[in-house]
Amino acid sequence: MHAAGNDYIYINLFEERIEDPATLSRRLSDRHFGVGGDGVVLIGPAEQGDFSMRMFNADGSEGLMCGNAARCVGRYLYERGLTNKQNIALQTLSGIKQLQLTVDPVEDRVIRVRVDMGPARRDGSALQPPQALLPEILEYPFEVEGGIWTVTFVSMGNPHVVIFTDGIDALDLPKIGPPIEHHMLFPQRTNVEFVEVINRGELRMRVWERGSGETLACGSGACAVLAAAVLTGRADPKAWVHLRGGDLLVEWERQQNRLFLTGDAHFVFQGEVK
């Protein structure tokens, strides 16, 4: 499945048993010698909530949360008959995420999914495990590989470094992304977003995801980008975020400090592997 081009291989743990998901993700995610994808997502029972989601990046590392994957899980659960609920509590490593499904009443098909992505934080206290020493970083000059980038840090339960700049299409992300992802400030590594402001209601971004490299979209990254844009006076609390894989609507209810992500989710193909 994919959502805004963020493609994962989804495995139903109600039917399958996976002994070593990290190794499996490395093998299957290889786009030349495997199925190909940004990683593997396991859909299973939950200790809290209705269902659980675990996601593993292409390098085998386990991610805390992925808003695009969560939307795909919502559609999978409904259209594969695991639930008839249109409001689903999904257990992730960064907490329970509420999914709100919009269903076509004629075709009984999920049109879009809205995800309550939870609060945005400006330090590492919400990360799992918490990074208590990670300071608040707002418009901070950051020297990496001989260049200086002005960065803002936002935690969506997973870490994001947001950089506002022009000419994002020309950036060499495989060169710029890794030294920021692995910077000593981020012992658990970090995702990195490069953002152009179109206007107060539209943003463009490219993303370097920890453990996967550049991907076509990142849901939690889009939320972090909107939060950073609002905090720095660049955008309104509701805006479209345009990614290489598609468009996402992000809304920040600041009084409750909750971000909501709305977008697509698509089946691509299904199969079996040994």
Contact yes or no for 259/251 (Cβ under 8 A):
yes
- Pairing of the two strands 258-263 and 62-63: unpaired
Quote the CA–CA distance of 111 and 86 in Å, as a whole number. 12
- Choosing from 11, 42, 55, 66, which is the catalytic residue? 66
Q: In sequence order, what are the residues at sequence separation of 6 or more whose Cβ sits closer than 8 angstroms to the Cβ of residue 118?
A: 94, 95, 97, 156, 157, 258, 259
Contact yes or no for 239/228 (Cβ under 8 A):
no
- 223 catalytic per annotation: no
- Choosing from 218, 226, 241, 248, which is the catalytic residue? 218
Instruction: List b or e across 38-52, with b for residues whose CB sees 16 or more CB atoms inside 10 angstroms.
Output: bbbbbbeeeeebbbb
Quote the CA–CA distance of 32 and 42 in Å, as a whole number. 22
Place of tokens 């691509």: 268
Quote the CA–CA distance of 140 and 210 in Å, as a whole number. 21
- 218 catalytic per annotation: yes
- Any idea which residues carry the catalytic annotation? 66, 218
